[in-house]
Homo-oligomer: A and B are copies of this chain.
Amino acid sequence: MSQLDDLMRDLVVANRILSNEQVVDAYGHISVRHPDNPKRFFMSRSLAPELVERHDLIEFDQEGEPVNDKRQPYLERFIHAAIFEARPDVTAVVHAHAEDTLPFGLVSTPLEPVIHSGSFIGGKVPVWDIRNKFGDTNLLVTNMMQGRDLAQSMGDGSVALMRGHGFASAARSIIEVVRLSVYLPRNARVQMNAMRLGGKVIALSKGEIAARAAGYKPNSPETWRAWEYWATRAGCGDKIGKPYKSPANKGQRHTSKGRS
Q: Which A positions have Cβ atoms within 8 angstroms of B?
A: 25-27, 29, 46-48, 50-51, 70-76, 97, 99-100, 102-104, 106-109, 114-117, 119, 129, 131, 135-140, 142-143, 163-165, 186, 189-190, 192-208, 210-212, 215, 221-222, 225-226, 228-230, 232-233, 247-248, 251, 253-260
What is the CB-to-nearest-CB distance from A222 to chain B, in angstroms, rounded to a whole number?
Answer: 6
Oligomer: number of copies: 4
30 CB-based A-B contacts, threshold 8 Å: A26-B228, A26-B229, A27-B226, A27-B260, A29-B260, A46-B222, A48-B229, A50-B233, A51-B229, A70-B248, A72-B221, A75-B257, A97-B115, A100-B193, A103-B196, A104-B197, A107-B199, A109-B199, A114-B164, A119-B138, A119-B139, A135-B207, A136-B206, A138-B208, A138-B211, A138-B212, A140-B257, A140-B258, A163-B202, A192-B193
Q: Which of B26, B143, B164 contacts A202 (CB 8 A)?
A: B164
Q: Are B193 and A73 neighbours in the complex by a CB distance under 8 Å?
A: no
Q: Are B257 and A142 neighbours in the complex by a CB distance under 8 Å?
A: yes
Task: Using A164-B114, A204-B164, A260-B76 as known contacts, say yes or no to A229 and B46 having CB atoms under 8 A apart.
Answer: no
A interface SS class: loop
What is the CB-to-nearest-CB distance from A218 to chain B, in angstroms, rounded to a whole number?
Answer: 15
Q: Are A138 and B215 neighbours in the complex by a CB distance under 8 Å?
A: yes
Cα–Cα, bound, A149→B88 (Å)? 42
What is the CB-to-nearest-CB distance from A196 to chain B, in angstroms, rounded to a whole number?
Answer: 6
What is the CB-to-nearest-CB distance from A251 to chain B, in angstroms, rounded to a whole number?
Answer: 5
What is the CB-to-nearest-CB distance from A62 to chain B, in angstroms, rounded to a whole number?
Answer: 17
